[in-house]
Amino acid sequence: MAIRRSMLCAALAGGLAIGAAACSSSSSSSGSAASSSSSASSTATSTSSASSGQKFTVALVPGDSTDPFYLSMEAAGQAEATKLGMGFIWEGAADFSPEAQQPVLAALLARHPSALLVAPTDPSALTGTLEQFKSAGIPIITVDTTITDTSILTSRITSDNTQGGAEAADACGAAMKGTGSAAVIYTTPGTTTTNARGQGFIAEMKAKYPSVTVYSEYDNNTESTATTQVSSLLLAHSNLTCIFGTNDYAAEGAATAVDTAHDASKVTIAGYDAEPALVSLLKNHTISIIIAQKPALEATMAVEYAYDALTGKTASVQSSVQLPNVTMTTTNIGDPSISEWIYK
Ligand code: T6T
């Protein structure tokens, strides 16, 4: 696990909120990353070596099976599991919703993986199913999103979503010179990450730019819905000059609406997620700032924590981790230390 410790310690140096003890104990094993694939019909599955005699198998259930954010997690989680000699299962629903995710979890429970990594699509609707994993002795680690009852979790790993929202508000507030109105485009009401981003944005706006009015919409994680909502907001509020898309779909939908309204010169768009299509919009100045996460690092850490929990190294497992974000702007995106965080 040599890479593990260097990644963790680099992240710690970059402001990661975990204990320094995480840098002190490690073991290592070698191996090369196996390739994996996924497809989206009703579910996407990639199973590697889960039945080839390995002692442990870790399962990763993403929010949905097609989002580049979760595909980055899949690749990194698979690579780390291979390195640690564990089998890896990837099972995701085509849609980001608790209704779609619940049957995926139920089917997975029947296969009894050694550990479950999951990005829950609702903070409470899946708790009953997750409790069944816990009762079956399967450690649960949430990645990205989480649940309200954290007592059943071995760990939860996410980004500093509140800080990311606040940073978007700072960029908008400055561009707006503290006047006018702004809009937050949330995804679904049950998404803990995007909710925290929107709340962080609103709190920062209130504190630093109290004259700015902030409107909110939920796009149900659908880009075309975000476009429709932003088009209506632009028509209804002539002083609307900032839009914060709390994920890539929201920001891309906002960009289409602003472009269609020919308002690009007066509207600042702050987006989330270094998904390649959104980065292209940053490079051509359609949007002004991207708050990027580190999905690969989240998955790598989660697989390592699963391994530690299964092998009795519980002292290495932090119960809550918030990884720092990377701010991408039109001026710094050419810097390799920034562009390295574009999602693969
Ligand atoms: O922003 C990420 C993730 O953090 C969020 O929970 C859901 O949307 C994304 O997957 C991006 O599409």
CATH of the domain at 201: 3.40.50.2300
Please indicate, yes or no, whether residues 303 and 194 belong to a single structural domain of this protein: no
Q: Which residue has a Cα nearest atom 4 of ligand 1?
A: 144
Q: Distance (Å, rounded) from C-alpha 248 to C-alpha 292?
A: 10
- What is the band of 344 on the pLDDT scale with cuts at 50, 70, 90? confident
Residue 343 lies in a domain: no
Please count the CA atoms within 13 angstroms of the CA of 173 that sit on its side-chain side.
21
Looking from the CA of residue 119, the nearest atom of ligand 1 is 6
Torsion angle in degrees (nearest 10) through CA of 150, 153, 157, 160: 10
Please indicate, yes or no, whether residues 129 and 190 belong to a single structural domain of this protein: no
Residue 166 lies in a domain: yes
- What is the band of 49 on the pLDDT scale with cuts at 50, 70, 90? very low
Please indicate, yes or no, whether residues 60 and 99 belong to a single structural domain of this protein: yes
Write down the pTM of the prediction. 0.87
- Per residue in 156-205, pLDDT (tens digit) is 999 999 999 999 999 999 999 999 999 999 999 999 999 999 999 999 99
Candidate of 247, 252, 294, 322 to mutate for ligand 1, largest count of ligand atoms within 8 Å of Cβ: 247
Please indicate, yes or no, whether residues 206 and 287 belong to a single structural domain of this protein: yes
Domain span at 233:
161-292
Q: Is 246 in the pocket of ligand 1 (CB under 6 A)?
A: no
Residue 284: pLDDT over 90 = yes
Mean pLDDT, the chain, whole residue set: 88
Please indicate, yes or no, whether residues 232 and 100 belong to a single structural domain of this protein: no
- What is the band of 23 on the pLDDT scale with cuts at 50, 70, 90? very low
Q: Is 325 in the pocket of ligand 1 (CB under 6 A)?
A: no
Q: Distance (Å, rounded) from C-alpha 18 to C-alpha 59?
A: 24
pLDDT of 45 reads 57
What integer is the mean pLDDT of 6-26?
Answer: 36
Residue 339 lies in a domain: no
Percent of the chain residues past pLDDT 70, beyond the cut: 85
Residue 98 lies in a domain: yes
pLDDT of 10 reads 41
Q: Is 272 in the pocket of ligand 1 (CB under 6 A)?
A: yes
Please indicate, yes or no, whether residues 270 and 240 belong to a single structural domain of this protein: yes
Please indicate, yes or no, whether residues 282 and 314 belong to a single structural domain of this protein: no
Please indicate, yes or no, whether residues 141 and 22 belong to a single structural domain of this protein: yes
Residue 125: pLDDT over 80 = yes
- What is the band of 151 on the pLDDT scale with cuts at 50, 70, 90? very high
Residue 24: pLDDT over 90 = no
Please indicate, yes or no, whether residues 286 and 310 belong to a single structural domain of this protein: no
What integer is the mean pLDDT of 239-249?
Answer: 98
Supply the DSSP symbol for 172: H
pLDDT of 47 reads 59
Q: List b or e across 54-92, with b for residues whose CB sees 16 or more CB atoms inside 10 angstroms.
A: bebbbbbbbbbbbbbbbbbbbbbbbbbbbbbebbbbbbb
- What is the band of 39 on the pLDDT scale with cuts at 50, 70, 90? very low
Residue type at position 68: P
Residue 208 lies in a domain: yes
- The total of structural domains in the chain comes to 2
Residue 169 lies in a domain: yes
- Closest to 33 measured CA to CA, from 88, 70, 71, 110: 88
Residue 44: pLDDT over 90 = no
Q: Is 96 in the pocket of ligand 1 (CB under 6 A)?
A: no
Q: Is 69 in the pocket of ligand 1 (CB under 6 A)?
A: yes
- Contact criterion met (CB below 8 Å) for 215 and 181: yes
Pairing of β 87-93 and β 115-118 = unpaired
Distance 35 CA to ligand 1 centre (A): 23
Please indicate, yes or no, whether residues 23 and 112 belong to a single structural domain of this protein: yes
Residue 278 lies in a domain: yes
Please indicate, yes or no, whether residues 12 and 145 belong to a single structural domain of this protein: yes
Residue 79 lies in a domain: yes
Please indicate, yes or no, whether residues 115 and 239 belong to a single structural domain of this protein: no
Residue 41: pLDDT over 50 = no
Residue with tokens 């829950």: 120
pLDDT of 46 reads 56
More confident position, 10 or 309: 309
Tokens of 5: 């410790």
